Amino acid sequence: MTSLIPPGCPTVLTEDDRTGTSVETLRRAFMDNLFFVQGRFPEVATKNDHYLALAYTVRDRLLLRWLNSAKTYRDQFSRTVCYLSAEFLLGPHLGNNLINLGLYDAVAEAMQQTGLDLNVLLDQEEEPGLGNGGLGRLAACYMDSLATLEIPAIGYGIRYEYGIFDQEIRDGWQVEITDKWLRYGNPWEIARPEITLPVKFGGSTYSYTDDQGRYRVVWQPHQMVQGIAYDTPILGYKVNTANLLRLWRAEAIESFDFQAFNTGDYYGAVNEKIASENITKVLYPNDEQLQGKELRLMQQYFLCSCALQDMIRLYLQCSSDLTRFHHKFTVQLNDTHPAISVAELMRLLVDEHLLPWDTAWDITRQTFAYTNHTLLPEALEKWPLPLFGSLLPRHLQIIYEINQRFLDQVRLAYPGDQERLARLSIIDESECRYVRMANLACVGSHAINGVAALHSELLKQTVLRDFYELTPEKFSNKTNGVTPRRWMVLSNPGLTRLISNHIGEDWIKHLDQLRRLEPLAEDAGFAAEWHAVKHKNKVRLAEYIQQRVGISVDPSSIFDILVKRIHEYKRQHLCVLNIITLYQRLKDHPNLDITPHTFIFGGKAAPGYYKAKLIIKLINSVAEVVNTDPTVADRLKVVFLPDYNVTCGQRVYPAADLSEQISTAGYEASGTGNMKFALNGALTIGTLDGANVEIREEVGAENFFLFGNTVEQLQEIWRNGYRPWEIANNNPMLKRVLDLISCGHFSHGDTELFRPIVEHLWQNDRYCLLADYQSYVDCQEQATRLYRDQKQWVKMSILNVARMGKFSSDRAIREYCEDIWRVQPVHVPLADTSYIAQ
Ligand code: OX2
């Protein structure tokens, strides 16, 4: 290629095939990749070849920005946020990268010129499901915002070979299928086999005094594996910043144990290799439920050790003075899953880099901050001491030392208060002994936060109360947010275009700008367009439902949607009670004039959580009866969408009229689906729980359907002795609904099937469905009645969107940057790439 640019000018100004962005260059680069990377000529290329050729074309453009970012950070020794998380639920990369590069339309055009449909290629991508739900998805939104805000950041996580299982529904039951997401390769990652770090497990320790009189401890492990880095660039929206997501895969240090092999134990030798690789084999599919499995602790420690060793390695490339480690890095612990980092950093600094304990402890505490995501007691991580000690003997010693010094301070603050001491201790001494990970995280961090205002308050009053009383200055709230790039621009192009036509595009980076839509809520022409966009999105979802589960739904019925993990506290079965109530009313009065209603569910249950799986079966059983009953035909439909994931979410949120956020008050820490729905113009029916409280505050009480008991009211109910059976016996409709389930109406006469659900509601009802039932049914009726007034509904929908600015993950990340991380943006110039040519 001849260049018109004088020698010495950055070559990036020319349209070369790896960085150019014109339609013609993109088309040529795509054909080049199809030929030279995929090894295909057009006539025989498969859809997957096309997808990969395009992915590599896009990746080249990412790499240009990524390398520039990495070089800028290195040259400036930039302060860097490290987000440590056992889960990153990224969702498909291709569409998102096209949006953030600003190349979506150009690439669509280039594909069209090649005779291809970009949408078909987008559908080819298997999403990396390296997370369970909200917590992992939050990490992904935060990575997007960090890059968009030009904050130097590294996400550290685990490269699970199998992500969250794929869900199939057979005979109404959930069936789990392994998620082989790497089957056809992953074009978005770059393996770094030269970045390999050793991780030790088991064995014992011994101590000695070295020739300089220092007390030293040596850990002699029983097993050693190595972590290999896999890097994925995370590009910000229309900036040059591309940050690093570094996921670790475990491998045996040597492929064979030659000693075992030579003595004839071939299987033993290979087994060792398999055992090592098992560490990163599969994501534990439990959402908010601790499974105290040894392999899970190994995963956690493996992640933390790799991440911290890597940070120290990067640090030492630029400075030998580790006492300033916390000036270069600030580390956020995404829940307690990576909390073992506190002990691991101490070990690395004290044992391996020979820093005095007090110095190391100062660095450690100034390095870490901890986010709590749940108040559920069964999710609070604690590890039995014998298990912990046998896997991490040195860490147990370090934790004892940390604990002893910490409890000495507590004794000074609260002389004689033994009970408080026992509650604050990192070691749970009651019955069996445990290591309490939340206590370790609190003691080892300089900042502690919850994820919504209500949640942060409850944290201070309940699970972390003693820590709050001891160090109130560490506590703050950081209400969650979601990225408008994936959750509007990518998933809802219709609404994005309509909004941008009226208020420009600034809102994509400054979501508060949506306020400028408020006056348009009164504009009939705008409202008509708004309604048309929503209707089109509903038609699209209806087509998908038809194709996926063979149920035909009416796009002008109200789309009432509940998608999230299946859990009793999220109360999917409360929604079912209302459906059966409606069904009953229609059976009683076949001519009843109700708003045509489509209920749509989606979500996975943890494979070992029987009740949650039974709830899925209940939804499908009710769907079967309702959808085939001619009396209710066309007025009531129930759909369970199988395999709910990020990709499915992108179809669902834009098509919702009503968003179900119906958890028992006090149980949902924040929720983020609630934000995605409202941002896409759905109205919310919800309790005063998690971020619902703040969403309602922002959009206005008059634009939100509130029902149910508050946290305080529920506390009162339990204090007075909660008697759900009395509620059921005093509410004829509720009793009929429960009886209808019990008598086998939805289970082909089987009276046993749903007994565990119904009996629990009658007798115990831990999540207070019955206490909230009537209020929910009434509120549902109010919402569906209002839906008939489309003018009013659309106005409320516009006002909801206009007032959702607060819930951008950009706002959340700005708060973390200012209050916790104290980190500044670093502008990345798209500089000279002439070194490529040298
Ligand atoms: C989830 C919480 O349940 C949810 O309320 C919150 O929005 C999300 O985290 C992100 O903060 N595992 N998943 C969660 O907490 C835990 C533990």
Between CA 92 and CA 818 the distance in angstroms is 30
- In the chain, the amino acid numbered 541 is L
Please say if 676 is a catalytic residue.
yes
Predicted local confidence at residue 290, as pLDDT: 85
Pocket of ligand 1 (CB under 6 A): 133-135, 138, 287-288, 335, 373-374, 379, 451, 480, 668-672, 690
Q: Is the pLDDT of residue 3 over 50?
A: no
Q: Assign 221 a pLDDT band (cuts: 50, 70, 90).
A: very high
**DSSP bridge partners of 530:** none
> How buried is 457 (Cβ within 10 angstroms: 0-12 exposed, 13-18 middle, 19+ buried)?
middle
Residue 743 lies in a domain: yes
pLDDT tens string 266-284: 777 788 788 899 999 999 9
Predicted local confidence at residue 1, as pLDDT: 33
Return the minimum-mean-pLDDT range out of 220-229, 251-260, 409-418, 796-805.
251-260
Q: Is the pLDDT of residue 794 over 50?
A: yes
Q: What is the mean pLDDT of the chain?
A: 96
Predicted local confidence at residue 291, as pLDDT: 85
Q: Which domain holds residue 27?
A: 1-79+99-126
Please say if 483 is a catalytic residue.
no
Verify that 160 and 50 share a domain, yes or no: no
Q: Is the pLDDT of residue 12 over 60?
A: no
Query: Which of the listed residues 83, 88, 373 should we mutate to test ligand 1's pocket, taking the one with most ligand atoms within 8 A of CB?
Result: 373
Which residue is closest in CA terms to ligand 1's atom 13?
A: 135
Verify that 669 and 742 share a domain, yes or no: yes
Q: Which of 50, 326, 373, 795 is catalytic?
A: 373
pLDDT tens string 705-742: 999 999 999 999 999 999 999 999 999 999 999 999 99
pLDDT tens string 538-589: 999 999 999 999 999 999 999 999 999 999 999 999 999 999 999 999 999 9
Burial string for 634-672 (b: 16+ CB within 10 Å, else e) reads: ebbbbbbbbbbbbbbbbbbbbbbbbbbbbbbbbbbbbbb
Q: Is the pLDDT of residue 832 over 60?
A: no
Please say if 564 is a catalytic residue.
yes
Verify that 627 and 645 share a domain, yes or no: yes
For residue 451, the CA-to-ligand 1 centroid distance in Å is 8
Verify that 585 and 704 share a domain, yes or no: yes
Atom of ligand 1 nearest to the CA of 480: 11
For residue 481, the CA-to-ligand 1 centroid distance in Å is 12
Phi, psi of 404 (to 5 degrees): -60, -45
**DSSP bridge partners of 659:** 561, 684
Predicted local confidence at residue 742, as pLDDT: 98
Predicted local confidence at residue 269, as pLDDT: 75
Kindly provide the ipTM of the predicted complex, given to two decimals. 0.99
For residue 305, the CA-to-ligand 1 centroid distance in Å is 24
How many other β-carbons are positioned within 10 Å of the β-carbon of residue 79? Answer: 18
pLDDT tens string 415-451: 999 999 999 999 999 888 999 999 999 999 999 999 9
In percent, the amount of the chain with pLDDT more than 90 equals 92
Verify that 439 and 583 share a domain, yes or no: no
Q: Which of 296, 509, 570, 597 is catalytic?
A: 570
Element housing 219 (H / E) = strand 215-220
Coarse DSSP helix, strand, coil percentages of the chain, rounded to the nearest 5 percent? 50, 15, 30
Mean pLDDT throughout 649-673?
98
Verify that 167 and 69 share a domain, yes or no: no
Q: Assign 202 a pLDDT band (cuts: 50, 70, 90).
A: very high
Closest CA to 290 of 379, 217, 365: 379
Which residue is closest in CA terms to ligand 1's atom 12?
A: 288
Name all contacts of 256-261 with Cβ < 8 Å and 24+ positions apart. none
> How buried is 540 (Cβ within 10 angstroms: 0-12 exposed, 13-18 middle, 19+ buried)?
middle
DSSP 664: P
Domains of the chain: total = 3
pLDDT tens string 728-782: 999 999 999 999 999 999 999 999 999 999 999 999 999 999 999 999 999 999 9
Q: Which of 330, 364, 672, 687 is catalytic?
A: 672
Q: Is the pLDDT of residue 232 over 80?
A: yes
Please say if 216 is a catalytic residue.
no
Q: Which of 249, 382, 564, 696 is catalytic?
A: 564
For residue 46, the CA-to-ligand 1 centroid distance in Å is 39
- Beta 223-235 vs 242-252: how paired, if at all? antiparallel
Closest CA to 195 of 164, 223, 154, 161: 154
CATH code of the domain containing 756: 3.40.50.2000
Atom of ligand 1 nearest to the CA of 335: 17
pLDDT tens string 606-644: 999 999 999 999 999 999 999 999 999 889 999 999 999
Q: Is the pLDDT of residue 10 over 70?
A: no
Please say if 373 is a catalytic residue.
yes
Element housing 330 (H / E) = strand 329-334
Verify that 457 and 592 share a domain, yes or no: no
How many other β-carbons are positioned within 10 Å of the β-carbon of residue 520? Answer: 20
Residue 159 lies in a domain: yes
How many other β-carbons are positioned within 10 Å of the β-carbon of residue 718? Answer: 12
Query: Which of the listed residues 336, 482, 670 should we mutate to test ligand 1's pocket, taking the one with most ligand atoms within 8 A of CB?
Result: 670
Verify that 171 and 27 share a domain, yes or no: no
For residue 275, the CA-to-ligand 1 centroid distance in Å is 31
Residues in the chain: 838
pLDDT tens string 291-315: 889 999 999 999 999 999 999 999 9
Residue 704 lies in a domain: yes
Residue 507 lies in a domain: yes
- In the chain, the amino acid numbered 714 is L
Between CA 688 and CA 669 the distance in angstroms is 11
- Beta 80-84 vs 153-158: how paired, if at all? parallel
For residue 617, the CA-to-ligand 1 centroid distance in Å is 24
Atom of ligand 1 nearest to the CA of 690: 5
Please say if 595 is a catalytic residue.
no
Verify that 465 and 489 share a domain, yes or no: no
Predicted local confidence at residue 831, as pLDDT: 73
Verify that 86 and 74 share a domain, yes or no: no
For residue 160, the CA-to-ligand 1 centroid distance in Å is 20
What's the Cα-to-Cα distance from 610 to each of 133, 182, 605, rounded to whole Å?
19, 29, 8
Residue 837 lies in a domain: no
Instruction: Tell me if 437 sits within 8 A of 336, measured CB to CB.
Output: yes
Instruction: Tell me if 167 sits within 8 A of 149, measured CB to CB.
Output: no
The first and second tokens of residue 72, run together, are 């800028």
Verify that 302 and 358 share a domain, yes or no: yes
Mean pLDDT throughout 383-406?
98
Which residue is closest in CA terms to ligand 1's atom 7?
A: 671
Verify that 648 and 775 share a domain, yes or no: yes
Instruction: Tell me if 280 sits within 8 A of 157, measured CB to CB.
Output: no
